[in-house]
Structure formats: structure tokens, C-alpha cells
A and B are shown apart, each in its own frame.
Chain A
Amino acid sequence: MNKIININLAGRLIPIDELAYEQLHAYIEWLRQFFGREAGGDEIVRDMEDRIGELFQDRIKKGAASITQDDVKNMISIMGSPEQIVSEAGEETGSTQQQQNNNGKSGEENRQQSAADSYEKPKRLSRSEKEKVLGGVCGGLAAYFNIDPAIARIVFALISLAWGSGVIIYLLLWAVLPVSDDQPRGFRRRLYRNPDQKVAGGVCSGIAAYLNIDPVIPRLIFIAPVLGSVFFGAINSDIVFFPVLTGGIPTFVLLYLILWASIPVASTVTEKLEMRGEKVDVQNLSQAIKDISESVSKAVPEKSRSEFRKIISVIVKIFVFMILGFVLIILASVLVAVLASMFGFAASSAFVLPLSGIVTDSETQKWILWICIVLALVIPFISAIRMLIRLITGRRHRDYKWINIVSSVLFIAGIFGLFWIGGAILSDFKARYHSRPEALVLNQPANDTLVIRQAILESEDGGITEYDWGSEDGGIRFKDDSTIAISNINLKIEKSPDSLYHMELQRSANGKNSKRAESLASPLQFAYHQEGSILYLPQDFSIPPHQPFRGQQMSVTIQVPAGKVFKTEGLIGSYYTQRSFRFGRNRWEYHTENYDNDYEDGKYYRMMEDGKGSAL
């Protein structure tokens, strides 16, 4: 059985066997490489492709159902096998080069020629003009050590992790090394993923081909932490190595995934040769073409033989994908955390109650806001990763044009949405409302001494999760899914106009107009209580469900008659902080102002006639 594919060869539609196609592809690829060195090489290859197309079309016209391997062989015997073309053309190119040199038109080919000669020349470390991302340092090192530039780049990236020393070395080399526009010398191994010997992604076998070792070795290294932790876990988990090994699992998995994503797969014959570090030349190419047809004809019996290997590969695949899922979940939660921290207090709830309604006015607004945040943050994040991969590998991946377009549109939509919602939220801070001071009930303390104490948070029953944010200064507390408490309470201690202790409360809030601000301020409850001479002040007040935070604030004034005593105990910082939100034309202000906290915690003060307390 043979798969037949349709190809467009120089404007002709040719049905061709898959195997024959492989050979044809390799042949044309070789032609491209061989003639690509000389001026007008493209044209030569185009003409030859054209001719090949013509030959094939003749075959089809004569009644062949498709182009077979024999037809390709036939075509190659007409056009000339790589060996023949080289032996016939070798001198030819040489002579034209001679000509061109004499004409002073030394160009690409000339360099090519000298590159071929330069095997003997001593290598000089230089910056590469051809293989460069920044300054060509990595490309130059790679040429010097005859390795893939991607490896040099990865090494530099790793060294840079050590306090940025890689960056300094890079800059030094950039400054010191001379530029050379040498063509990459002869052949060079390139790191590819090997699709022929893969278990999961072909990374290990690709590395093995690159290093010219058995694929089992990199596989064992990658699987070592897993095996190790299983082994030591079975014997004794207290062993020193254990954490090293368990830490190694995610590291190696991540490394594998990064390599999987960043290393291209060796799909063409030329790439497979490059992967093994075999010089892409005539013999190798012909050999490789033969190998393809042989390996395919051999493939069927091999499959039945390696039933065991197949099972192992399935197990490994399941394992890898499970870990992949795990890593993705971790990455997603990291991303959420990043979003959270970027969105300040509202988002710190993201872990406990995602999409809390504290910022937004309505459900719709909330969802739009979150979608926009995700779009505006995740898209640049993904693009950055794609760009990094492209930079490290130095290879241009196929451009997915529509991905770029879609992601740009989504990104712009996200930014637009953020401004839109942001504007709506900000304008909801425009007006400020202050209620009339309301006198609260305060029993006169015994011994003319009032202790103002911070109420300790009662843990609510029913195992409701409480989440504290900024416990020192107060802040935001998430009582349950729908209730948020805010410690935006401040306290003033004044001299009483009469001989009694008094307490007054003023509620304030912002809103798009004063009516809305009032509707947000009035339902606020001040949960204080008094036990004898001890007045317990709440740490915070709850914002009713389905109401957003719009600068709600409570100002408490405690009036102490002259000559009587008071003490504050454990009051949190927010009691001495005046927070205000203002929004005017082109102006958005969040203002905090600290009162002079004249009264030391836990000390008794006597209220004097001038309205200030004096320490006892």
C-alpha cells in the first residue's frame, strides 16, 4: 500500500507516491544546496524543477497513475545523480569563479570556495556575521567549537542566570572579537529532534544524534530523577539525595518540554543528515535516499518485533503528558498570581474567591474586566516566550500569520476593554459623600478611665476561610464568598465639650454622584461593643454583598472630657490613617495622610484643657 500525494511542481499538478516524494524532495533539496552557492543558482534550480515537472507530466500523460520511485530514479538518471552533477560541474564552477575573481566580482561563490579550502587553516575565534542574533558572539563560538549556535546560546543563557555573568562575558567578547563573515565552515551538526527514534518528542534521540551517543544515555539522564526518587523512596526517604532528586523531576520535565518546543524536528533528508553531523554531500544524500526506501520496506516486520517498546513508549507518553498537565496547572496558577499582584488588592482574592466583585459594579463588568486583564497580560507573555524561543534557536519557525493577527487584535481589544472598564470604575469615584456625624451609644466608664481596645477578630464558625491582607495596617479581609471587610476606619480623640465621654461616627463613600455615594455609605455597620470601661473597636467594616469598594470610610471621633483618662490598646495603623480617593477632571488621587499618633499604645493619658492628652 502506498500513499499518493499531489504536489505542485513548477506549476504542474503531479500525483506522486509518498516514498517517491521523499526522494524527489531530497534530490531537489540537494540541488538547491549545491547550486545555491553560485549566482543565479535559484534560476538553475527553477529550470531544473520545471524540467522534472515536465518529465513527470509526460509519465502521467502516458497513463501512469502516479509517479513512483522508479520514475524518480529514471528522472535522476536523466538529470544526473548528485555524483554525476558534481563531477561534471566541479571544474565548471571553478572556472567561472576564476573568471569572476579576475573581473573583481568576487562574491558568494568565492567565499564558498575559500570556505572549502579553509579546512586546513587554523581556526580563529571571531564573531559571526551570518549566525547572529545580537552580536554574533554565540555564532562565532559555535563555529569555533563546531557546535550548533543554539547550544552556545543556551549555555550563555544559563551562565547569565548566575548573577548575569553571562551578559558581561558576552559584552566583553562582543567588544574584543573581530567580525568575520566567514561562511559556516564546512558542515556542522545541528540539534534537531529525531522523529525516527522517538519515545515522547524525539528530544533525547536528537541529542544523542548530536552528541553521537546512544539515545539510551540521554533518556536515562532525563528519567534519572524519577527512577532515583522511586528507588530512594522505596528504601529510605531521609536520604540527602532525596530532595535533590524530587527537585530534579520538574526541572528535567520542564527542560524537556522547553527543548521539545524550541528544537525543530528533522523532517527532511538534509536535516536528518545535519542532525547526525554528516556532511550534506553527494554520497551521504544518495545513501540517505536509499535508507529511506529501505527503512520503509523494513518497517513492517520491525513494528511487530518491538511490541514491548511500543508499550513502553505509550507509558512514557502518558507519563509525560500527565506531568505536562501538572506543569501547565502550576504555570497557570503562577500566572493567576501574577495577575493578582498586578491588580492589587482585588485580585489577592483571586486564590480564595476568583473574580471578586469588589472593584466592579456589576457581574457583566466584572467578567469583561477579567477577560480583558487576561488578554492584556497573557498575550504579551506568550509572544515573549515565542520570541525567546526564536532568539535562542536562531531559527525562523514557520510564521503563523493568523496567530499573530488574532493575538494582536485580542490584545488591542483587551487594552481597550481595560481602559473602558477602568474609566467606568474611576468615574464612580467622582463624587464624595460624608454623612452627618451620628452619635453612638457610649456608657460612661467607671473610674473616669476609658480603654479603647482593638477588638480581636473572632474566628467565624462553620470553618469559613478568612484571608488577611496586610494584617499590620489592616486592609482587606475576605470573610466569605460575598463579603469583604475593609479596615478603612480612622479615629480621632478630642476634648469633650461637656463632662461626658462621647463617640461620633461619620460614614463616607465615593460614587459617580452624591446619591450613589450616599447609597454606598449609609448601609455600613460599625460593629463596636463595650464591656465596662473597655471600648472594643472593630478592625474593619463589611461592605454589603454586591456593592463594590468606592472609598467607603468611617471616621470615629471619641470625645474625652477634660481631666479624665483614656488609653489605646493595640489599635491598628489604619486608625491613624486618613485615606481619600478623589477623581476630578484629568485627576485621580489616592491620598493617605497619617495623623500624628500622639498617644503611645498602652499608656494612660489625661485629657487637658487644650484638647491634648498628657501622659500620666
Chain B
Amino acid sequence: MNTENTQSQMRKGVLEFCILSIIRKSEVYPSDIIEQMKAAGLSILEGTLYPLLTRLKNAELLSYRWEESVSGPPRKYFSLTEKGAAFYVELETTWKQLADAVHLLTKENS
């Protein structure tokens, strides 16, 4: 069991949650997601983001529309579907419970 592996496992779980939360705020373009996450201190590879977005879209949690851009071809802008919004709420509850529990447990150590 190496640290790296555990770390990436931990990150992975929250990644979807974070992405959904960014998209929930406003319609975004993938690079925006990267930037916002980077700003929050959570870096993500684009090579991981795109597959994730496609999978979420295929699971009908996200939808997208094409928007013309000034430079180059049109871009995909993602937004949450109703199903996605419900999914997000569920995740949020889970996260809150989890965060509280983790917080409670780790507090004693620190």
C-alpha cells in the first residue's frame, strides 16, 4: 500500500463532486473547470477531466451545448440536468456526513 495510491483514491472520490458543483454554479467550458479547481488548490489533469465529463454526460447528469467562440471552432459548454442536480444534492448530503465524520475523527488526533 503506497501513499500515492491512497492519495489518488481519496482525490478521485471528491473529483466528481467538485466538478458537478462547479458546473452547478454556472454553465462552463472545460478549461474553466480546470482553472477554478486550480484556483481552489485542487489540480486535475485534463486527460482525466474529459473522460469524466463524457461519462457524466452519458449518465445523463450533464448536458452540453455548442457555443461559437471568437477564436477557432465552437466550444462545448456544460450544464447540469435535472437528474444531475438531484444527483448533486445526494452527493452533497453524503459529502457533508462524510466530512463531518472525518472531521470529528481526525480532530482528536491533531
- Residue positions of A touching B, CB distance < 8 A: 10-12, 31, 35, 38-40, 43-44, 47-48, 50-51, 53-54, 57, 61, 78-80, 84-85, 87-89, 91-92, 96
A146 to chain B, nearest CB (A): 31
Interface size in chain B (residues, C-beta < 8 A): 21
- Minimum distance in angstroms from A35 CB to a CB of chain B: 6
B48 to A, closest residue via Cβ: A88
A-B contact count (CB 8 A): 70
The answer to whether the Cβ of B14 comes within 8 Å of any Cβ in the partner chain is no
Please give, as numbers and ranges, the residues of chain A lying within 8 Å of B73 by CB-CB distance.
10-12, 50, 53
> 1/0 contact trace for B51-67 toward A, CB 8 Å?
11111011000000000
Which residues of B does A touch, CB under 8 Å? 8-9, 12, 30-31, 45-48, 50-55, 57-58, 71-73, 76
With A50-B73, A51-B30, A57-B71 in contact, do A91 and B12 touch (Cβ < 8 Å)?
yes
> What is the chain A residue whose CB lies nearest that of B58?
A40
Classify the interface of chain B: helix, strand, loop or mixed: helix
One of A38, A57, A80, A91 near B9 (C-beta < 8 A): A91
Q: Is the CB of B45 within 8 A of A92?
A: no
Contact of A48 among B8, B12, B46, B71 (CB under 8 A): B46
Q: Which A residues are CB-close (under 8 A) to B48?
A: 80, 84-85, 88-89, 92
Contacts of A51 in B (CB 8 A): 30-31, 46, 50
Q: Is the CB of B51 within 8 A of A35?
A: yes
Query: In the complex, A535 Cα to B54 Cα: how many Å?
Result: 100
Inter-chain contact A84/B47, CB cutoff 8 Å:
yes
Q: Are A47 and B76 in contact (CB under 8 A)?
A: yes
Subset of 19 A-B contacts with CB under 8 Å: A11-B72, A38-B51, A39-B58, A44-B51, A47-B50, A47-B54, A47-B76, A48-B47, A50-B73, A51-B46, A53-B72, A54-B72, A57-B71, A57-B72, A79-B47, A80-B48, A91-B12, A92-B48, A92-B55
Report if A88-B45 is in contact (Cβ < 8 Å); known contacts: A11-B72, A39-B58. yes
Instruction: Determine the chain A residues whose CB is within 8 A of the CB of B50 once the complex forms.
Output: 44, 47-48, 51
- The answer for the CA separation of A50 and B76 in the assembled complex, in Å, is 10
Chain B residues with CB under 8 A of A78 = 45-46
On chain A, the residues within 8 Å of B58 by CB distance are 39-40
**Most chain-A CB neighbours within 10 Å: which of B8, B12, B45, B47?**
B47
